[in-house]
Structure 1
Amino acid sequence: MPRRRKTPRELEESAQAQALAEAQASALAGAEGSAPSAVAPEPASTPTPAAGGAAVPAPIPVSAPAQHVASQHVEGQGHGQAHSQHLGEGSQGQGSGHSQGQRQRQGQGQGQGQGQGQGQGQGQGQGQGQGQGQGQGQGQGQGQGQGRDEPNSSGPPGRARGGMGGGERGSGRRGGRSRYNQGPSHSAPHHNAPGSFNPHPEQYRAHGGQEYHDMQHPGYTPPVYRRPSRPSQQPIPPAPRPMQQGGRGPPYPGPSYGPGGGPPVHFAALPAGYGSGVGPVVEQFGSVVIGGVGPRFNSGPTQEQAVSKYEPPPTPPPISSKQLRFPLRPDRGRIGLRCIVKANHFFVELPDKDLHQYDVTITPEVTSRGINRAVMEQLVKLYRESHLSSRLPAYDGRKSLYTAGPLPFQSKEFQISLLDEDDGTNQPRRERLFKVVIKFAARADLHHLGQFLLGRQADAPQEALQVLDIVLRELPTHRYSPVGRSFYSPNLGTRQPLGDGLESWRGFYQSIRPTQMGLSLNIDMSSTAFIEPKTVMEFIRDLLNKELTRSLSDADRMKIKKALRGVKVEVTHRGSMRRKYRISGLTHQATNELEFPVDENGTLKSVTDYFRETYGYFIRHPSLPCLQVGNSLRPNYLPMEVCKIVEGQRYSKRLNERQITALLKVTCQRPRDREADIMQTVHHNAYHQDPYAQEFGIRISNELAQVEARVLPAPRLKYHDTGREKECLPQVGQWNMMNKKMVNGGIVNYWACINFSRTVQENVAKNFCQELAQMCHTSGMQFTRDPVVPLQSYRPEHSDRALFQLCDDVHKKTKGKSLDLLIAILPDNNGPLYGDLKKQCETVLGVVSQCCLTKHVFKMSKQYLANVALKINVKVGGRNTVLVDALTRKIPLVSDIPTIIFGADVTHPHPGEDSSPSIAAVVASQDWPEVTKYAGLVCAQAHRQELIQDLYKEWRDPQKGTMTGGMIKELLISFRCATGQKPLRIIFYRDGVSEGQFYQVLLYELDAIRKACASLEPDYQPPVTFVVVQKRHHTRLFASNHNDNRSTDRSGNILPGTVVDSKICHPTEFDFYLCSHAGIQGTSRPAHYHVLWDENKFSADSLQSLTNNLCYTYARCTRSVSIVPPAYYAHLAAFRARFYMDPEASDTGSVTSGLGGANRSQFTGSTAGRTHRAAGGNAVRPLPPLKENVKRVMFYC
């Protein structure tokens, strides 16, 4: 193999390495004959400086068994045997023992090692072990670079500097147990693929990353995270020439790496399109003055300052829920004006009784909780005094029974008979017999619950909380209609019609919660949709909004079938006999065409004849289909006109827009009225008289909790210097654009308007467009006054052809240029037109668009035009406003070093859409220190899957080997290209996670973040803060005095910026409630933020202030919003992506759409638009990829 001439830098490094090796060799003299000890001495836990000055945490001590077999790979311990072949790897090792073998090495790096420890790469590791080993091998190759390895065998520590080989690593057998490879294994080859992060090959598969199900296995051994070896296939080019602050280079011309494929990407390999990065490995990034994108208002920190402030995470991420502990509350917040608010939490006195759990088995088994409860109710009525020691048990309706003391038996069998409902006939009711077995299961210890509430125990005893919750739900379950944790009744409020055969019922929500003040009962008002108890004919007339005088169309038939499937009806043609049935479908034939067999000979009779002959009933609507009831094997047919819907059935399917609007009007209450209704509910429930609460010794306060709160100050906002007002201080959560200009106005040179509304005349549309263009110009954008082509009008059903024709006309007129913006005027009831237009523009044509409804075109208010201008500006790449503190570098743990802020959300299909996939979206800030612009990615994944599957991906490419990608990697690369710097801190806001999913989501998604970072650079592990954002909770905050205008906004709600981190919050963990917005109507719902992982060590004030201040940077309005913008943007992106799906989209698997979408075929192993199989997933129809010029801007706004 010809030898490459060394560069001067390589010659210098080679000389330094040789000098160091000689010094180490002399220091190690005599160590070869030392006797091996049982366990090698553990090095100090003080972090060892890495190449750029960053601290690398020392490994956690792990004791080694006296006898085991191990092979060392880069870092390891133990003794054993290894037989392998190596091509072109530099080696280094230390320890003592015996080794035999031959190795030829070319390149730079010299070292001396004793024992069986051979390694390569850049990194640092420490281990312990003992033993002797023999190794034989041959190898040749050449290497360059430098690295450090410190595998300890049985002797004193020693170091060797060596090069990383340029050849492929050969296969080998290895087995035994070591610090990083726990448990016996025989795998070949055992190494990290290029760009991958494989800390534990036993648990991290070659394809698809970590297998989550392995974590649930009782024999699962957690992996230990370590620095992966530098890939040998892709040498790292030298860092680009540094640029001075504020310098702007050409856009990054390289390929879009990520889920689309391409070679593994390292931050060091990225050109400095907008400057150079800074990181812990200074040699890779070069010397650079930190600046940023475009004009800066302030200079950034120097490289030395940035590096000195950066510290890698001190601990590896958790591997199982048993290891996982959510961060404790660091302190209590102090910033802000202190005040007292009321919360809809009622103090619960912990009972001083022993709670016992019994397993219940009912035979024959039934799925209905109602029947199970009826059986248990009858059992308690018959045997409470004689067999249950007079105890009143609480029953969950399924398998568990709870008592406030022991029953006089361990196991007992009961025989219970139930009579069917009275169907109105004079015949005796049918009796059903059940065998009930009650068997002792466990004792619920309330002592641990008390310790948890006092902060002396980390884990919440969920079993005890569940028992208390079931006890307090027992009486309302008998009185009302239970739906989840809520209870509804027509007697709890006035029924309100919702349209299409539905009505709203009033009810209340109830749940036991552990808080800092002890147990609390959270009670809130609630409303939901029920089916009106009317005849089926009346229901269908309301549903279709027309008289049923002729046969139904196929569309009408499908609409009826979807609405009525599963609904319980009773017949009306048999006088007082009201037998009930559940609808399973709709017949294809009309009633007068439908026949069924009436005897064993197969004699057929029509339904109309049967009803006439049997009941003397003449069918009035023979052209309508029949309802099908019962199972599909033996169906029964009922004419629609003889059926009536049974009262009390909740409508669980998707509501239309009119129904949602009507339901919101019902539930919208001013804070004063909502508080009064909550208090009335508490008094009506009379918990002090509840026999179940009395039986279990539970006492509940009748007063709302008084909670200490603080009102955080609003941040100052920066606008452009050419405006009359250069800065703005919002008042009560809102401000306006008067006398202000956008801080970075976008550029729109070529725009066009297309009109799909029949009622908007051409002159009206032109006038509207001119006013909108003027508003954009006034607000600070560079916006051409006239469209590039004349306004065009089309019918909505011709939208696809119209869009293609318009883009073709623009292309010809501008000689190859593309539209910067498309303005579309839509009818008020546009149906699928909006979704179709967005899909075509963003995934086919590559055009950002702004849709305007007809009613707004006619009204043409200045406020509406100003809001639309804000949306247009960010869609074309501008910024509306920036936090002053961001520009002056005063935001703690954000402004000091490059920080990227993520937002993530998963939206699930509406109820009844069983075949639709869930949509996951992740957005990330693309500017620093402003943290205002966000790029987004979306993917479709399995139906109702909450874990985001595409955060990190590994797949096998036939030519390039193992590839890595995913959403996190894509967005990190995008940040690096946009800012010229790599993020040194990650803040991750995750929306849409319930408390029961906290452990699962954190384990999976934090692991994906770690792997994505490591796939970019071996040493790259920025500290992560993972915060869950919750809006679907029932905590409400009220002003202590509704008549005090100083403590409320115009709507009567608490002031924006009100934060609560005491009393009603978690007993020990880091969480808080923040009402960051001003109410408009109804009662404001504060957002609940719960920190699940915090390596950045936020204080309560720093995280609360950051979150509150970010809520003032939302791009679409001049108001603070209710949840942090990254999470809000992720929700918008996920909602937008649902328009991209094909109607027949698969409900399994996952595929990314967005950055890197052009290379999707390499990522998925198939072509876009076809059903394929992704790594680690099932078959799925992919989302169409976003166009390059669309995915870099905030298209979802």
Structure 2
Amino acid sequence: MDPCGRSQAGSSSARLPPSSAIAPAKDELFPALRRDFGRIGHKVQLLTNHFNVRLDTKENFFYLYNVNLTYDDNGNPVTGKSIGRRVMDKVLVTYVNSLQGKGFAYDGEHNLFTLGSLAQNLFQLKVVLDDVYSGSAGGSIIPQGGAGKRMKRQSQSKTIKVQIRFAAKIPIKSIVSVLRGQETEHFQEAINVLDVVLRDHAAKKGCLLVRQSFFKGDKCTGIGGGALACHGFYTSFRATQGGLTLNVDASTTVVIQQGPVMDFLLSNQNVRVPQDIDWNKAKRTLKNLRVKVSPSGKEGKITGLSERICREQTFMMKRRNGDGEVEVTVYEYFVHHRNISLGYSADFPCINIGKPKHPNYVPIEFCELVSLQRYTKALSVQQRASIVETSRKKPRDRMKFLIDALRSNNYDKNGFLCSAGISIYPDFTRVEGRVLPTPKLICGNNESFVPRNGRWNFNNKRLWTACKIEKWAVVNFSFRCNTNQICETLMRCGNMKGVNVSNPLGIFEEDPRLRRSSPFERVDSIFKNMENSLSEPPMFILCILPERKNSDIYGPWKRKCLSIIGIVNQCIVPTRVNDQYMTNVLLKINAKLGGLNSILTIENKMEPSFATRIPTMIFGMDVSHGPPGRSDIPSIAAVVGSTHWPCLSRYRASVRNQSPRTEMIASLFMPSPENKDNGIIRELLQDFCSNTGKRPEQIIIFRDGVAESQFSQVLNIELDQIMEACKFFDEHWNPRFLLIVAQKIHHTKFFQAGSPENVQPGTIVDNQVCHPNRNDFYLCAHAGMIGTTRPTHYYVLYDELNFHADELQGLVHSLCYVYQRSTTAVSLVAPICYAHLAAAQMGQFIKFDEASESASSHGGVTSSCEVLVPELPRLNRKVQSSMFFV
């Protein structure tokens, strides 16, 4: 493989063809190799949450065995990881001689790993587990004896058949090979074995497992709605330049509030008394949650609620003498047959822990939700904010938390790790970082300045390119705002910054009688009012929304302005109107109307770089998905492209929707039968060429939101589409490409050695904890004000530009300073931030709940099992080239 990322072996790959024509096989692309290291910047000594691992084993292979668990009495498969783990723990004890004392790591499903081979390739074993909940039919889990066969306890001993069959050998030396910079086929499999060992270790300690994060349940914080933020830790083995390391970080998940079911429902629905509970909603919320039933103490899974209240819900109970059955209510059974008094639950539905057709009803007051059950419903805005607040840890607090987590897990006493000769050093790894020089900016009157600590302001400064705000109007949906004060402040601030703000054409207040109407009606009504009052439509509208978070007017308003009519607009929810607030609003308005607030000196050719010496176009790509549990909501793919080379600060966006949960962008190149390309890339290329009169010789692509396992798809599907689109645009044109993936969702953190503060803005690390041979680096471009700074991990996947690491890292750093919405450096390059904003704003165009119902009523799934997605409305041509997303 060459440094560009091309396969030198000439292997072919299954890439998406641009047309139905048979194309010649293409070389598969692989992530590019590192050419050199950066040198610019003053060096700093840092600590990182990677702990060095020593690997010293005489064994050559991990052995993988497939595990099959079935019930002996009926042959049904054993479901549930908890039961599977109990079975395998029993196997380890019962068959110690057959296994020759060899330990193993079990993933809870079908895979078992050993160090060296077992004595046989196939084992057929049996174990007996006590207190296994069978889930068979019954009237109640509470009664014990005396009520006939249907009233027997659901918990009993079970014999389980265990089949262990050899599957594969995984060479341990593949880890060593990668650490030496050699790509090997089985490396990821070997690392996965070590990660399974840690998962198995945590499971034996009673932790909740969420992929590679583990939660004991002793550190939980309420976030409202019956949900708790549960704090735990994350672990993962990583191959780095410094050797094998264990990456340990703090992690947070959401679990349900344990305790009485009734208390949970009151909190979940935010009501004070049980009489106000929505039981239809409760049924959906409780389904599949586990409860412990008193007084027996046994556990069961909720399958539903009774159709009637406890006093009225009946079942057939066998007479004690076995002479027939008698119909009784659940209430009568407990009070008269079991002498167990009932309180509030008599007048509410019962919990069903049986099957829908063979219910097993329990009064709700006898049921308690067990701990460490994940909350899988969509979180509210307030809950998400609470999670962020409770998860923040200052650098020193995070370091102490991680050291405590590592010590408390006693990995040095894990039998598998010890047998493999794996030892984990307890100290943070030391790395050498560099603080890059701060990029210089220019504002109005060619005044250059250097931001301090990743921040700057426009006090006594004018904007670089100031627009004119003429023929504009104000729309007010809020009854709390003083619109005259807002207009006066905006005009005063604009004049100070060089923006000529005229008096508005009109101020349009919403009719108070319409505030209970639908959002669409409210928006249409106020537009009709403007049409009747103004002789011509305004060129810009300032819209004052009534709520601070998630106003239901926002989506319909944006769709009306940007898609239907074509008017640039800015929404605000002012809580305090002052010069600072209105100046920040002015920055967004100026960018949307075609102005620029500040630019890099390299854009003005004062300090030319490789991106400004040669015609260069920059893309930022991102895909946003619907909330968890909503498989009917389409994913939104957004690409922004720079438009005015050598300017690197101005972009336009193209946005399309695609099938739910689809990460790869499918609309980059879309050839039609009419020999036209309707894809995103052609649309952006046309804008660049029309504005600059040139074709870009260099194309730099920043891709967000993909994991390492998806790198091959980005290279061999998305990059291939982009190249095909360029070739289709002009077959004689051969631009060079640079593809970089940016990752924010990772667990590497950096800490200043000897300081409690976050690392400085501009801190970069391209050694020690980076990949052994691939081209990646970590960059903290922004100032971390709260919690611990999370660096962005940049991976260079494809590189035909061949520039020195310092030039490339400097460009990435500089692009964090061209974000026109604020006066701070951002943690990601601005093109990616813009793509994310464009996807989020265009996603507001679709009223997803209605779209889902429509799809359901018209058959929302195709014959090929693809979910039908509503078509995303296109931008009006009047605004499609604007930075509407800022």
TM-score, with structure 1 as normaliser: 0.67
Letter in structure 2 aligned against 1:439: R
CA distance in 1, matches of 2:455, 2:9: 54
2:95 aligns to what SS in structure 1?
helix
Letter in structure 1 aligned against 2:418: Q
Letter in structure 2 aligned against 1:526: S
1:999 aligns with 2:721: no
2:170–2:186 contact (8 Å) kept in structure 1: no
Residues paired across the two proteins, number: 847
Worse overlay, 347-356 or 1058-1067: 347-356
Alignment partner for residue 1013 of structure 1, among 712, 726, 733?
726
Alignment partner for residue 487 of structure 1, among 201, 214, 217?
214
The residue that corresponds to 2:273 in the other structure is 548
Letter in structure 1 aligned against 2:130: L
Shift in alpha-carbon separation, 1:399–1:543, aligned structure 2, 3 A: closer
Letter in structure 1 aligned against 2:426: N
CA distance in 2, matches of 1:1029, 1:203: 23
Letter in structure 1 aligned against 2:83: I
CA distance in 1, matches of 2:45, 2:165: 49
1:1028 aligns with 2:746: no
The residue that corresponds to 1:383 in the other structure is 95
Deviation, 1:964, is 2.3
1:1111 aligns to what SS in structure 2?
helix
The residue that corresponds to 2:407 in the other structure is 683
Q: Where does 1:160-175 land on structure 2 (aligned, <5 Å)? A: none
1:921 aligns with 2:647: no
The residue that corresponds to 2:65 in the other structure is 358
Shift in alpha-carbon separation, 1:1146–1:519, aligned structure 2, 3 A: farther
1:917–1:1145 contact (8 Å) kept in structure 2: no
1:392–1:692 contact (8 Å) kept in structure 2: yes
The residue that corresponds to 1:1180 in the other structure is 869
1:342–1:1037 contact (8 Å) kept in structure 2: yes
Deviation, 1:904, is 1.1
The residue that corresponds to 2:556 in the other structure is 836
Shift in alpha-carbon separation, 1:439–1:1106, aligned structure 2, 3 A: same
1:873 aligns with 2:590: yes
CA distance in 2, matches of 1:401, 1:800: 57
CA distance in 2, matches of 1:535, 1:203: 53
CA offsets per residue over residues 693-732 of structure 1, 9 Å max, x none?
Answer: 21221111111110011111111111111xxx71121011
CA offsets per residue over residues 995-1032 of structure 1, 9 Å max, x none?
Answer: 11111232110111122112212223322211111001
Letter in structure 2 aligned against 1:543: N
The residue that corresponds to 1:582 in the other structure is 301
CA distance in 1, matches of 2:85, 2:880: 54
Deviation, 1:814, is 4.3
1:911 aligns with 2:622: no
Deviation, 1:329, is 0.4
Shift in alpha-carbon separation, 1:549–1:516, aligned structure 2, 3 A: closer
Deviation, 1:426, is 7.4
Shift in alpha-carbon separation, 1:829–1:326, aligned structure 2, 3 A: closer
The residue that corresponds to 2:814 in the other structure is 1109
The residue that corresponds to 1:371 in the other structure is 83
The residue that corresponds to 2:377 in the other structure is 653
CA distance in 2, matches of 1:829, 1:996: 35
The residue that corresponds to 1:784 in the other structure is 502
1:472–1:693 contact (8 Å) kept in structure 2: no
Alignment partner for residue 415 of structure 1, among 99, 105, 126?
126
1:915 aligns to what SS in structure 2?
coil
1:701 aligns with 2:418: no
The residue that corresponds to 1:825 in the other structure is 545
CA distance in 1, matches of 2:882, 2:66: 57
2:523–2:556 contact (8 Å) kept in structure 1: no
1:941–1:1147 contact (8 Å) kept in structure 2: no
Shift in alpha-carbon separation, 1:558–1:1036, aligned structure 2, 3 A: farther
Give 5+ residue unaligned stretches, structure 2: 1-7, 72-76, 134-140, 146-152
2:51–2:246 contact (8 Å) kept in structure 1: yes
Letter in structure 2 aligned against 1:547: R
Deviation, 1:457, is 3.4
1:987 aligns to what SS in structure 2?
strand
The residue that corresponds to 2:176 in the other structure is 450
TM-score, with structure 2 as normaliser: 0.89
2:740 aligns to what SS in structure 1?
strand
The residue that corresponds to 2:149 in the other structure is none
CA distance in 2, matches of 1:645, 1:546: 19
The residue that corresponds to 1:204 in the other structure is 17
Highest CA radius of gyration, 1 or 2?
1
2:545–2:553 contact (8 Å) kept in structure 1: no
Give 5+ residue unaligned stretches, structure 1: 1-59, 64-181, 183-198, 211-221, 225-317, 1044-1051, 1151-1168
1:826–1:852 contact (8 Å) kept in structure 2: no
Worse overlay, 522-531 or 595-604: 595-604
1:925–1:932 contact (8 Å) kept in structure 2: yes
Shift in alpha-carbon separation, 1:1174–1:680, aligned structure 2, 3 A: same
CA distance in 2, matches of 1:588, 1:549: 17
CA distance in 1, matches of 2:357, 2:727: 57
CA distance in 1, matches of 2:313, 2:467: 66
CA distance in 2, matches of 1:1139, 1:1062: 42
1:568 aligns with 2:381: no
The residue that corresponds to 1:852 in the other structure is 572
1:864 aligns with 2:581: yes
2:644 aligns to what SS in structure 1?
coil
1:581 aligns to what SS in structure 2?
strand
Deviation, 1:743, is 1.0
CA distance in 2, matches of 1:716, 1:780: 21
Deviation, 1:1172, is 12
Letter in structure 2 aligned against 1:204: P
Shift in alpha-carbon separation, 1:893–1:1147, aligned structure 2, 3 A: farther
Letter in structure 1 aligned against 2:825: S
Q: Where does 1:126-205 land on structure 2 (aligned, <5 Å)? A: 204=17
Shift in alpha-carbon separation, 1:792–1:741, aligned structure 2, 3 A: farther
Q: Where does 1:308-457 land on structure 2 (aligned, <5 Å)? A: 323-354=28-59, 355-364=62-71, 365-384=77-96, 386-420=97-131, 430-457=156-183
Letter in structure 1 aligned against 2:498: G
Q: Where does 1:696-845 land on structure 2 (aligned, <5 Å)? A: 696-721=420-445, 726-758=447-479, 760=480, 764-792=482-510, 794=512, 796-798=515-517, 799-828=519-548, 831-845=551-565
Deviation, 1:806, is 3.6
CA distance in 2, matches of 1:1113, 1:602: 79
CA distance in 2, matches of 1:498, 1:660: 8
1:936–1:1191 contact (8 Å) kept in structure 2: yes
Letter in structure 2 aligned against 1:509: Y
CA offsets per residue over residues 170-221 of structure 1, 9 Å max, x none?
Answer: xxxxxxxxxxxx9xxxxxxxxxxxxxxxx99x973746x99xxxxxxxxxxx
Letter in structure 1 aligned against 2:744: K
Letter in structure 2 aligned against 1:1135: A
2:444 aligns to what SS in structure 1?
coil
CA distance in 2, matches of 1:206, 1:1178: 24
Letter in structure 2 aligned against 1:379: V
Alignment partner for residue 259 of structure 2, among 497, 516, 534?
534
CA distance in 1, matches of 2:104, 2:496: 71
Deviation, 1:935, is 1.2
